[in-house]
Amino acid sequence: MGISLVIDVLLALGLVGLALQVVAGPSLFRSIVLFVVFGLVMALAWARLHAPDLAMAEAAIGAGITGALLLMTYRRLVELNPEKRGETYLGSRWLAAPVGVLTGVLVGLIGWAALQLPPGDTTAGTLARDALDETGVSNPVTGVLLVFRGYDTLLEMGVLLLAFLGARAVASGRAHSPGTSEVSEPALVGALLSLVVPLTILVGIYLLRAGGHAPGGAFQAGAVLAAGGVLLSLTGRLVPTDHTPLVQRLVLVLGLLVFSGMGLFMLFAGSAMLSLPGTWAIYLVETALMISIALPLALLFAQAPGLKGRGH
Amino acid sequence: MNTALSLAVIFLIINLAAGLVRVARGPSPEDRMLAALLFGSTTVAVLLILAQLMEIPALRDVALLFGLLAAIISVAFVALPADHDRDEEDSWR
């Protein structure tokens, strides 16, 4: 037990130290790299907390999208404001102390509330786990997401779609291509893409399939697919279009349509709204959700209303 | 056996801490980015050991994801504007 305690203390100290360096560091680029490292250590912490689902989400989003997104944002900042390179873009610092104190109070309150939680058998988690056999999936996270709290998951899909629409509403002018198409690219990029992009599709489908009985599922799978799209638009293989093509419009709403359609169908079939008639329905909805999660994430990254292959 | 695995994890985490010095001090952006990529590999190793140690096979999938997606950040880094004026070394990165 003593040795695992050492591991946990090292990870906790590392997380706090990294977080401090990220927010208080002297240069923006350094903070971005440290934030990526923070995500790695955070995944290790989730693993130590027996939460492989969260570690997986951290891996898919953190390694696949956030790091590249921050670097691209940094690139835009430098392009927009080359003479301000030395600045760290930190806002006014006088807010730091009160915000820090309030956040500390909040964290303390949450920790105190967590300690007051009743132990034992009557919590919602225990009830959900006991009822898991009825859902047809053996992974409790997927069971809860799709069966016990279907409304939340459905509305989360709506939120993602709204985020995409909101980004389109405030985006101005021509889509900015984040790609490197205009400059000569390093020789290894093509080889890397031909290796990694098919693997993201394979791994995405594997995670979707694994989600039934192990950590995985639509969200992680969609994020991995989106990471493939991010890679393609970073390297200029996918370029922004002026409008969203019809197929991509359909894909954007596919998850909402399939999930709510299935839910309504069950309502009229005499069952409860959003109840799912078996494992096949869970996988069907999960597949639709995966696709409808992947596309808006990739489009948001590319700041584009739609994407098309280069040269088309 | 478990003690040996735990010690291996601690050794790797201390390795991370050593690499962190390079990320924090730089001096060049390439130094920081390469150290961060090294972090990714070390994290994969730690996750694989933890999967065995804690008997959570799903952690191998997490390691798979990190291994697969590590390339993206380096491609994004390459897409950053080149340093034409490296003389004013890096006050801005």
As for the ipTM of the complex, it is: 0.83
Asked if A200 and A228 count as a contact pair (C-beta separation under 8 A), the reply is yes
Instruction: Give A80's contacts (C-beta < 8 A, 6+ positions apart).
Output: none
Question: CA dist A142 to A91, A122, A265, A275, B21, Å?
Answer: 40, 21, 21, 14, 40
Chain B residues within an 8 Å CB radius of A71: 73, 76-77, 79-80
Mutate to test the interface with B, among A29, A72, A205 (most CBs of B within 10 A): A29
Residues A307, A173, single domain; the answer is: yes
Domain that holds residue A14: 1-80
Of A73-77, A246-250, B64-68, the least confident: A73-77
Predicted pLDDT at A64: 79
Residue A185 scores a pLDDT above 50? yes
Residue A99 token pair: 């915000």
Predicted pLDDT at A139: 76
Answer with the one of A40, A56, A80 that is the final residue of a domain.
Answer: A80
Q: Say how many domains are in chain A.
A: 2
| Confidence band for A89, pLDDT divided at 50, 70 and 90 | low
Residue A152 scores a pLDDT above 50? yes
Closest chain A residue to B90 measured between Cα atoms? Answer: A86
Tell which wins on pLDDT, A263 or B88: A263
Residues 12..31 of B with a Cβ closer than 8 Å to A: which? 13-14, 16-17, 20, 23-24, 26, 29
Closest chain B residue to A18 measured between Cα atoms? Answer: B20
Residues A75, A145, single domain; the answer is: no
Residue A110 scores a pLDDT above 90? yes
Chain B residues within an 8 Å CB radius of A63: 40, 65-66, 69-70, 72-73
Residues A294, A205, single domain; the answer is: yes
- Identity (one letter) of the amino acid at A269? A
Rounded to a whole number of angstroms, the CA Rg of chain B reads 16
Answer with the one of A59, A80, A101 that is the final residue of a domain.
Answer: A80
Burial class from Cβ neighbours inside 10 Å (0-12, 13-18, 19+) for residue A174 reads exposed
User: Which alpha helices (H) appear in chain A, and where do they start and end?
Assistant: 2-24, 28-48, 52-57, 67-80, 96-116, 124-130, 140-143, 150-170, 188-210, 218-234, 246-268, 279-302
Answer with the one of A49, A80, A111 that is the final residue of a domain.
Answer: A80
Residues A272, A156, single domain; the answer is: yes
Taking only the tens place, the pLDDT of each residue in B42-88 is 999 999 998 888 888 888 989 999 988 888 888 888 766 554 333 33
Chain B residues within an 8 Å CB radius of A86: 91-92
| Confidence band for B89, pLDDT divided at 50, 70 and 90 | very low
Q: Is the dihedral of CA B79, B81, B86, B92 positive or negative?
A: negative
In a domain, A267, yes or no: yes
Residues A41, A179, single domain; the answer is: no
Q: Which of B33, B58, B73 sits opposite A52 (nearest CB)?
A: B58
What's chain A's average pLDDT? 82
Residues A153, A12, single domain; the answer is: no
Residue B74 token pair: 């380096």
